[in-house]
């Protein structure tokens, strides 16, 4: 009895399963309309064409990128223009007085500068020293020689008399900077003295930092000198730079905008100490290198080694 009941239950289950399966397959379309062979072939052909077009576009893009890379790597590339602000003109203003050894920094400036047009050299001479003037004039059109016209005496009394050289230096500086920015119409200037030696990368250093100086309002100047840059005290890292709240001098770059701030209140004396005052600096910094790009070769003068005595 149990056996017959089991067989009956299994039979009914099989019949039910068969009925359900038949119903499902009888209701399902044999081939989806979207997947009919003709339609599918058309879609595959269209996809193949789109892929071929994309491959061609990618190949063209890759070819353009290769051409751009070759152009950037060419010797006459314009990459430098991006970094250096389209190769701006930066005047070089060399202060001279009565030292015929001014020939030494002039020779180095002419040797190292990459372009006369990009770095025009102006030698500004005080003191009316004829021998020094002849040395400067011997370079012809490689530089512009200007001479401070005001050679009048500066009346001082008492202890101030011994500082006359500082007064003449400040007067010379003010006149020459006005001449450079207003008469020659330059927007930036590198200032050097007649007792400086220069490193071979002197111009490269200032050119690389020119754009930063002009675009960063928190900067006051760029200097080539590290006051603590003696052997044994510096890292062997010529690319290392610092922001300093102290004006270093000894080869430095400023912009016309800074000069417009300073010209109307330019001091009668001790210009380098004056320029370090908070009223002039206004919390702005100067960039200076880890390794100096200049050094002095002359004896100490009236302005902390920056000039020979002009008294």
Q: What angle do CA 93, 267, 152 make, to 5 degrees?
A: 75
Higher pLDDT, 31 or 164: 164
Residue in the structure block whose two tokens are 């009895």: 1
Q: Say whether pLDDT at 301 is over 60.
A: no
Pick the CATH number of 91-296 from 3.30.230.70, 3.90.550.10, 3.50.50.60, 3.30.450.20: 3.90.550.10
pLDDT bracket for residue 308 (50, 70, 90) = very low
Report the pLDDT value the prediction gives residue 307, as an integer from 0 to 100: 40
- Each residue's pLDDT tens digit, 113-146: 999 999 999 999 999 999 999 999 999 999 999 9
What are the structure tokens assigned to 177, written together?
């900077």
Per-residue burial over 255-275, b = 16 or more CB atoms within 10 Å of its CB, e = otherwise: bbebbeebeeebbebbbbebb
Task: For 253-275, write each residue's pLDDT tens digit.
Answer: 999 999 999 999 999 999 999 99
> What tens digit of pLDDT does each residue of 166-217 get?
999 999 999 999 999 999 999 999 999 999 999 999 999 999 999 999 999 9
Domain map of the chain by residue range?
91-296
Q: What average pLDDT is seen over the chain?
A: 84
What are the catalytic residues? 272
Structure tokens at 162: 């011994």
State how far the Cα of 40 lies from the Cα of 300, in Å rounded to an integer. 92
E strand residue ranges, the chain: 91-96, 121-125, 144-147, 188-193, 196-198, 219-223, 241-244, 252-255, 285-289, 294-296
Give pLDDT tens digits for 213-223.
999 999 999 99
pTM score > 0.75 for this model? no
């Amino acid at each position: 009895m149990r056996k017959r009941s089991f067989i009956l239950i299994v039979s009914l289950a099989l019949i039910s399963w068969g009925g359900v399966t038949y119903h499902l397959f009888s209701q399902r379309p044999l081939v989806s309309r979207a997947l009919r062979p003709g339609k599918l072939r058309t879609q595959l052909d269209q996809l193949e064409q789109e892929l071929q077009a994309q491959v061609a576009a990618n190949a063209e893009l890759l070819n353009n990128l290769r051409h751009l890379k070759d152009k950037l790597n060419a010797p006459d590339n314009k990459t430098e223009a991006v970094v250096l602000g389209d190769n701006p003109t930066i005047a070089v203003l060399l202060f001279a007085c009565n030292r015929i050894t001014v020939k030494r920094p002039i020779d180095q400036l002419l040797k190292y500068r990459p372009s006369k047009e990009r770095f025009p050299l102006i030698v500004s001479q005080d003191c009316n020293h004829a021998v020094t003037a002849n040395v400067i004039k011997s370079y012809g059109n490689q530089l512009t020689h200007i001479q401070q016209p005001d050679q009048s005496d500066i009346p001082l009394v008492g202890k101030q008399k011994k500082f006359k050289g500082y007064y003449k230096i400040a007067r010379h500086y003010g006149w020459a900077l006005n001449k450079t920015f207003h008469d020659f119409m330059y927007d930036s200037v590198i200032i050097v003295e007649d007792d400086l030696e220069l490193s071979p990368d002197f111009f490269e250093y200032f050119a690389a930092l020119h754009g930063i100086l002009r675009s960063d309002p928190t900067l006051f100047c760029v200097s080539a000198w590290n006051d603590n840059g003696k052997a044994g005290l510096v890292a062997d890292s010529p690319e290392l730079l610092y922001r300093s709240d102290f004006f270093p001098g000894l080869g430095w770059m400023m912009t016309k905008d800074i000069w417009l701030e300073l010209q109307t209140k330019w001091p009668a004396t001790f210009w380098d100490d004056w320029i370090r005052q908070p009223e002039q600096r206004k919390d702005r910094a100067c960039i200076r290198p880890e390794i100096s790009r200049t050094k002095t070769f002359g004896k100490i003068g009236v302005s902390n080694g920056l000039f020979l005595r002009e008294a």
